[in-house]
Amino acid sequence: MAQTIAPAFSPSHRGGTHGSRDPITRMVKARRIRAYPKSSDVFLAPGFYREIHDSDVDIFHVQGFHTFVPPIAMFGAIRSWSAFVVTSHSGGHSSPLRNLIRGAQQAALRPLLLRADQFIAVSKFEAEHFAKGLRVPREQITVVPNGAEIETPPAVLPSSKDRPLIVSVGRLERYKGHHRVIEAFAELLKQRPNAQLRILGEGPYKPQLSALVARLNMADRVFIGGIPPEHRKQMGGILAAASAVVLLSEYEAQPVAALEAISLGRPILATNSTGFREMAEEGMLLGVDPGASPTAIANAILEEVDNPNPRKLGAKVPNWDDCTKNLLDVYRAVLTRSREDYQQLDAPTRRLCPEL
């Protein structure tokens, strides 16, 4: 049974939408729609509605809801009598205003979100969060975890205990908590002066992080910078060599960096909140109190370095093939329900509706 599936991506998760080229990557055609303004991540894309409304596809997959793209996509799908599913992809933000209006955004979009043929969350935490916010039964939200797989160079061994490598991964935003890792690392150096810290990421908070490192006189012990996407094996090598991976983000629905580190058998220390708490309860990482002091965090890191708690190090985590299979199961179920609903319509109504 051949089906046509159109992903309606929110640019905040999949890069920009400026330009008019239609590249084809691995037999998947990417249709780019011009968005305004170019200097903002608001992504107002008026042409998106017509693109969705006039497309001859069986099901749309809308990713996220934090920009103007998802509501336009959902409205276009509804007006064209097309099936659509929504993956929430919730996340944190450094802007207090952005975080403040998230609830209002969700409330304003609730009428559209409730029209989705299936709502998808990436973790149990996120499913429970949106069940409460959308005021729907938890069982109406399907959990499809992200995939995690990362290649490493051959024969990479973890750093030694006397020269531990601590790694923090994520976009350089304040809410990601890299500054807290740096402060804890300053305490850790009092006990392990040969330790190193690598903060892997890029973003607008980099100058503040660099200034903090300089103020603490740790420029020779801390490296801050991202790894280009085409050098994923290098990223895998750094994670594999880590004595501990520390993730102190204020909000994560399901952190892919943590899943990748788990798949490589690395001990992880993370904020015991949001999606991290779920992973801590499953024994995949060690959770620390969100308000823990730098000294407490440093001591917890060294405990992991010296004697990792008996958890599921190297546990099997879903890869992207698993994620794809689960999504295809959702699509098939939605299309089956759509056809059954169509067959139950009376003849005059069927003639008014495009056949599914």
Summarize pLDDT for 16-48 with one digit per residue, the tens. 333 344 554 566 777 888 888 777 767 778 888
pLDDT number for residue 102: 62
Q: Which residue in 265, 290, 270, 292 sits closest to 281, CA to CA?
A: 270
CATH 3.40.50.2000 describes domain 5-147+320-352: yes
> With contact defined as beta carbons under 8 Å apart, do 78 and 27 qualify?
no
Q: Which of 91, 123, 64 is nearest to 281 (CA)?
A: 123
In 10 A of CB 323, how many CB atoms?
17
Q: Which residues contact 54 (CB under 8 A, 6 or more apart)?
A: 80
Q: Which two tokens stand for residue 302?
A: 């060294």
The stretches of the chain forming alpha helices (DSSP H) are: 11-14, 47-53, 69-79, 96-113, 124-134, 178-188, 206-215, 232-241, 256-263, 274-281, 294-306, 320-343, 347-352
| Axis crossing angle, helix 96-113 with helix 69-79, rounded to the nearest 10 | 0
| pLDDT given at position 51 | 87
Whether the Cβ atoms of residue 234 and residue 227 lie closer than 8 Å to each other: yes
Are the C-beta atoms of residues 123 and 254 closer than 8 Å to each other?
A: yes
CATH 3.40.50.2000 in the chain, residue ranges: 5-147+320-352, 165-306
What CATH number does domain 165-306 carry, 3.40.50.2300, 3.30.70.100, 3.40.50.1260, 3.40.50.2000?
Answer: 3.40.50.2000
Tokens 């949001």 locate to: 274
pLDDT tens readout for residues 79-98: 988 899 999 877 655 556 55
Taking the C-alpha atoms of residue 258 and residue 268, their distance in angstroms, rounded to an integer, is 7
Of 82, 83, 90, nearest to 120 by C-alpha is: 90
- Return the SS3 of 209: helix
For 94, which DSSP code?
A: S
Under a CB-based contact definition with an 8 Å cutoff, are residues 143 and 121 in contact? yes
Digitized pLDDT (tens) for each residue of the chain, 356 residues in all: 344 555 654 443 333 333 344 554 566 777 888 888 777 767 778 888 888 888 888 899 998 877 888 888 899 999 988 899 999 877 655 556 555 556 666 777 888 888 999 999 998 989 998 898 888 889 889 999 988 888 888 778 788 899 999 999 999 999 999 999 999 999 999 999 999 999 999 999 999 999 999 999 999 999 999 988 778 888 899 999 999 999 999 988 888 888 888 888 889 999 999 889 988 888 889 999 999 999 999 999 999 998 876 666 656 788 889 999 999 999 999 998 877 765 665 555 444 455 44
Judge whether 308 and 316 are in contact, CB under 8 Å. Answer: no
pLDDT at 249: 94
Do 146 and 259 meet the contact criterion of CB atoms below 8 Å apart?
yes
User: How far is 131 from 221, CA to CA, in rounded Å?
Assistant: 44
Strand partners, 61: 7, 85
Residue matched to tokens 């740096």:
182
Cβ-based neighbours of 191, under 8 Å, separated by 6 or more: 298, 302
